[in-house]
Structure 1
Amino acid sequence: MEQRGPLFASAAAASGEKFIEAPVAYDAILLASFGGPEGQDDVIPFLRNVTRGRGIPDERLEEVATHYRHFGGVSPINEQNRALKAALEAEIGRRGLDLPIYWGNRNWDPFLEDAVRAAHADGHRTLLAIATSAYSSYSSDRQYREDFARVLIDTGLGEGDDPVTIDKVRLFFDHPGFVEPFYEGVRVAVAGFLADGIEAPAIRVLFSTHSIPTSDAERSGPRDVDWGEGGAYAAQHRAVAEHLMARLAQELPEAAASDWKLVYQSRSGPASQPWLEPDINDEIAELPAQGVKAVAIVPLGFISDHMEVLWDLDNEAMASAAEAGLASVRTQTPGVHPAFVAGLIDLVEERLHGTPASARPALTPLGPWFDVSRPGDSENVRLGFRPAAAGILP
């Protein structure tokens, strides 16, 4: 199917406006996530799905598989999504909203195709998606929108006189509900170091997120804005980190002299391909020479404690801190924190009610982010532009 315009979207979103400020009668929510294996036999087939089209042999996949095998072949992400789905359903019930939630993954069962088919079979046509990613990049935003378009094309449910449409809530990197759990974690960690007698200048806060190819980072976010190094992806993380540290200094003045840095983790590309840096472990190794004695590791790019948090931070980064002789704490992810759960349903209600952009909460100057992705947003350099829902061509 040729994408002739902003197809696969509700009539309001198909207008192409940045913000949908008219009510839309969504009849179901689609919770979209990455997926993960749930047993040793699932690990390699799952990793094949993740790397489809790249020609990576199983021998190389097995190097990554060791992370999952360390935990019995089970990624925590599916169970975390079950918990998030249940928490969202409880919040929906508390608010008296009649919106069922269908959960589907990109790379493992339950797949998005099955979730959309189930919603269609139950009579739902106007879906609003919540993806478990908060920031701009290909894999965390546009790829989900491509997933939605692919599913609607492959199943045929996006065609005909009564098509299924899929819109997407705005990116929520600076929504108060997403940010609050991180602030709580930073404050507890830094206050704990201070209580242990470590002075603020000797405390470093490292905000960690998934590294991505520099070429993809440069294409994250709308093209008509100069986002600086790392594109909108890095700019969004920096803006949230700045907010958190400014709030910390205001509410805990004795912590004001603590410094911070945005760092990256979990790179998986070839050494010849530039990815965002610095790596968190390299940064930790340099801290003692800077007079740092304690480090708070904040998983700012992550929704929950999935594999990159459990392995790359709790295992590798914490080991790096111990080797450097640093006191260290890894702070919490949002998970099913009440503020986060309520915030996600707030985003749903924004679209149900057509809340004006001027009335939408955002904690950084970059927000609130758009409802309808802008032209050229988050291009994948290798794949180019493919049909995508909830945006304007290309």
Structure 2
Amino acid sequence: MDDEAIHDARNDNTMGCSMNIDHILLIGYGGPRCPDEVMPYIKLMTESKDVSHKALESIASRYQEIGGASPYHDQVLSFSRRLEKTLQDSDVHLAVFTGMKNWHPFLDETLRNIHQKRLRNGIAICLTAFPGAAAGAKYREALDSAKTALKLPDINYEFIAGWYDQRYFIEAQTELISEKLREIDSEKRQTTPIIFSFHSLPLKSGRTASGSNYAEEARVSSELIAKRLGHVKWSISYQSRPAKAKGEWMGPDITETLKALAREGEKQVVIVPLGYFCEHVEILFDLDCHVRTIAEQLGMRYLRAEPILNHPKTIPLFKGLIEAQLGRHSNE
């Protein structure tokens, strides 16, 4: 794949309209902010499913393993503050708000705050690089539902969902992986397998239930990064499928990939949580506890790259997306 396939920030992944933009809204997944919120959060997430109390306790125990709660909220809030300061320093005077789909501050709470500040036209950015992920469409639906529930038709948004092939994203991920590869003996770095990991989704007739291009986006992004690294031994796997999930889901599962690599005689592996913006339970427990244990049982050294959140190029990535939408994109 040519370097030209790596894109600078642009408008072609947005819903364009002519508005006087007065704020930015970051839309995230959400998660329990403290131990007291863990069980209410889990019950909310499973209320439409037949989940036993024992199963709820099992899910809650995962948060105990990672410190008692999810770091997601605090990480995203810190990021939003840094983004707002960067915009202000660049003479882009827009307030940055955060709203979560699944926990506090819920989108309706954030929209109420925005409305009270008499702000009406915003750019909404979904905190996933992959617009084909089910989250992308669901976040947009959640935003529309919150507006309808609050009867706020006068708040309007241009929606940015996805940056999986953006230059800063590819460069940042490449640098994060390179940093992890440096922990490996130099003569083994180029032959150590890399697994790009994404959240699995249910399939319907061989495609994601939403009919999206998620798998293709994952392939394109992974291929761009691997090419930039000059690394040929890489693969894509999926993780975090619910234990009792029914039907066909995206695969291969990351544990099956590890077993295949072990049969080939591999002794170490680098896991890249490419489908995730920042650390939360899917990384800290599903990968760092569950997958690590399986890797070690297979006699493999487990190394895991950091997600993109705190990389120095992530703020410029978002700044570029915003400036492109404003028609003020710079070449920085």
Amino acid at match of 1:278: P
For this pair of structures, how many residues does the alignment match? 322
Deviations 1:122-155 (A, max 9, x none): 1111121112112134642011011111111100
1:307 paired with 2:281, answer yes
Cα deviation, residue 73, structure 1: 3.0
CA contact (8 A) 2:14 2:161 kept: no
CA contact (8 A) 2:24 2:94 kept: yes
1:35 paired with 2:10, answer no
Amino acid at match of 2:198: T
Q: Which structure ranks higher in relative contact order (CA pairs < 8 Å, sequence separation ≥ 6)? A: 1
- Consecutive unaligned residues of structure 1, counting only runs of 5 or more, are 1-12, 224-230, 250-255, 362-394
CA contact (8 A) 1:102 1:116 kept: no
1:47 paired with 2:21, answer no
Q: How does 1:142-161 map to 2 (within 5 A)?
A: 142-158=137-153
Which whole-Å CA distance do the structure 2 matches of 1:346 and 1:324 have between them?
A: 43
Q: How does 1:78-89 map to 2 (within 5 A)?
A: 78-89=73-84
CA contact (8 A) 2:132 2:217 kept: no
Match of 1:164 among 149, 155, 164: 155
| 1:240 match | 221
Which whole-Å CA distance do the structure 2 matches of 1:53 and 1:86 have between them?
A: 35
CA contact (8 A) 1:303 1:334 kept: yes
Which whole-Å CA distance do the structure 2 matches of 1:58 and 1:207 have between them?
A: 34
**Percent of aligned positions with the same letter in both sequences?**
27
1:205 paired with 2:194, answer yes
Which whole-Å CA distance do the structure 2 matches of 1:54 and 1:137 have between them?
A: 25
SS of 1:272's equivalent?
Answer: coil
CA contact (8 A) 2:17 2:158 kept: no
1:263 paired with 2:237, answer yes
Match of 2:255 among 281, 285, 303: 281
1:345 paired with 2:319, answer yes
Cα deviation, residue 262, structure 1: 0.3
Deviations 1:181-235 (A, max 9, x none): 210122233344242x42634x1110011111122982478x6xxxxxxx51111
Amino acid at match of 1:214: L
Which whole-Å CA distance do the structure 2 matches of 1:199 and 1:351 have between them?
A: 40
Cα deviation, residue 105, structure 1: 1.0
CA contact (8 A) 1:220 1:232 kept: no
- Consecutive unaligned residues of structure 2, counting only runs of 5 or more, are 1-10
| 1:294 match | 268
Deviating 4+ runs (over 6 angstroms)? none
Deviations 1:278-326 (A, max 9, x none): 1112211221221323211111101011111111111122222222222
Amino acid at match of 1:181: A
CA RMSD between the two structures: 2.6
TM-score scaled by structure 2? 0.88
Which whole-Å CA distance do the structure 1 matches of 2:158 and 2:171 have between them?
A: 26
Q: How does 1:1-394 map to 2 (within 5 A)?
A: 24-137=19-132, 139-158=134-153, 163-195=154-186, 197-198=187-188, 200-201=190-191, 203-215=192-204, 218-219=207-208, 232-249=213-230, 256=231, 258-268=232-242, 270-353=244-327
Deviations 1:337-394 (A, max 9, x none): 2211111121111111177xxx999xxxxxxxxxxxxxxxxxxxxxxxxxxxxxxxxx
| 2:4 match | none
TM-score scaled by structure 1? 0.75
Which whole-Å CA distance do the structure 2 matches of 1:56 and 1:136 have between them?
A: 30
Which whole-Å CA distance do the structure 2 matches of 1:36 and 1:317 have between them?
A: 21
